Amino acid sequence: MASSSNSNLMQSREGVSQEAPKESERCVTSDVTPKRPKWLPDDWEMEVRTRRSGKSAGMKDRYYYDPKFHRCFRSKKDVENFIQTGTIRRNKSRTKASSNENPESESFDFKNCPTKVSWVLSSFAEKSWTPHVNNEALPKSTWNSWAVAMEDICGGAYKS
């Protein structure tokens, strides 16, 4: 097992004619994923894919999957973004601008919901309060989703 990948190193040296096999080269070498970032939640899964084809062959791409919904994320930022704001960063629909959407509707992370928050008056003039957890300000999206979740839980009992 685990024979080092030593096969077909360079095929076309001068590369002129002879295009490599047209077969789908989009194959990636399965990596054993020996590395595991500590910033990654214990429940999360990480997958490291090594690019097999193209110019950037050999480049490593990290993919993450959340334990609950098994959604696919491409980067640390994406993961943290999901954990924190709960917003999924999926490509809308290519270069076509969508009319409207509700990304914050179904993105309440119950697991990461803080049990205690401190509301700090961030802007006295505007009377805007911002919830803080562990001395960390929470993004509006986060607690904005609380209302959505609350509404969902209370079954409409919660109203603005």
Partner DNA sequence: CGAAACGGAGTA
Partner DNA sequence: TACTCCGTTTCG
Q: Give CA torsion, residues 82, 87, 90, 94, to 10 deg.
A: -150
CB 124 within 8 A of CB 143: no
Site string for DNA, 6-45 (x = CB under 7 A): ------------------xxx-x-----------------
Select the residue interacting with DNA from 6, 8, 95, 98 (CB under 7 A). 95
The answer to whether residue 59 forms part of the interface with DNA (CB under 7 A) is yes
What is the distance, to the nearest Å, from the Cα of residue 120 to the centroid of all Cα atoms in its chain? Answer: 29
Nearest to 4 by CA among 33, 35, 34, 29: 29
Of 33, 54, 106, 128, the residue at the interface with DNA (CB under 7 A) is 54
Choose, by CB under 7 A, the member of 38, 94, 116, 159 that binds DNA. Answer: 94
56 binding DNA? (CB under 7 A): yes
Q: How far apart are CA 104 and CA 146, in angstroms?
A: 10
- Is 152 a binder of DNA (CB under 7 A)? no
The residues pairing with 62 across neighbouring beta strands, listed in sequence order, are 48
CB of 94 to DNA, least distance (A): 5
Structure tokens at 80: 């943290």
Residues making contact with DNA (CB under 7 A): 24-26, 28, 49, 51-57, 59-63, 72, 74-78, 81, 89-91, 94-95
